Structure 1
Amino acid sequence: AYVPLDPSYPQERLAYMLQDSMPVALLTQTGMQERLPAAAEAGLTIPVLLLDGEEDGAAMARQTSHNPDPAQLGLTARHLAYVIYTSGSTGMPKGVMVQHENVLRLFAATQDRFHFNVNDVWTLFHSFAFDF
């Protein structure tokens, strides 16, 4: 599962989201790294992978481009796909856990309207840090 972080968010919000979600790693780009000092400020030690960095980028390029077989990994539609943070009624961001089955249901329910197919890149319709 992943937690999208919008680098345009205030530092306090990013720090809270990192502390609340406790990610095992942080994927970013060199130009965005300075926007994410919030991890250290939140008291977290998180490995940071620079996707465009020389070392991390080369390691990522060596990875397979094929998706692993979910059955071999023991994954089901009930496993967590991502956590999206909403504004929250208390003024603090609230993490909402979204399972794979929720994503599949969304696509099935909107297929007649959007005519999704395997060539679509639907995340370009909105902020990557906002739920469709």
Structure 2
Amino acid sequence: MRGTTGRREDEQAIEQLRDFIAKNGEGRFERWVDRKETDIPQSESDAEPPGERFRTQMRAGWKRWEKLDGGGTGWVYYLTAEGMNEALNGLNARDAKHVLVERGFLVRGPDNKLAMVISPPGLKSVRAYRVNPAILGSDAGDAD
């Protein structure tokens, strides 16, 4: 009757993470720009990223323009532990993260842990959760 066959908590985890990224995409996710990778456009319009007037406030993570598995490019979001906890507030975070992995929205690191070690510009290494851009699509059940 509620439009899904899964548990309500499972769907709520996906909805909450999707909403968090959609609402905070520009304001709280710092753009991760790799100057070395010239073959990947840094934004949808091939333009330079915004200048200093667009400072990230209360950073929840980073967003990086990357080549995707399907051959296209898109924004991949990396959430800090604090950002992920905020996004999943009110849910059992452990269960919610496992649901996100099962659905293909949260990508495990090379060491098979939920959070992977990344090196964004200006930082040596940070553990972050890699979120597949498919979570922002309209069909939440069909992540690749």
Query: TM-score normalised to the size of structure 2?
Result: 0.28
Higher percent of residues as helix: 1
Higher percent of residues as strand: 2
Query: TM-score normalised to the size of structure 1?
Result: 0.30
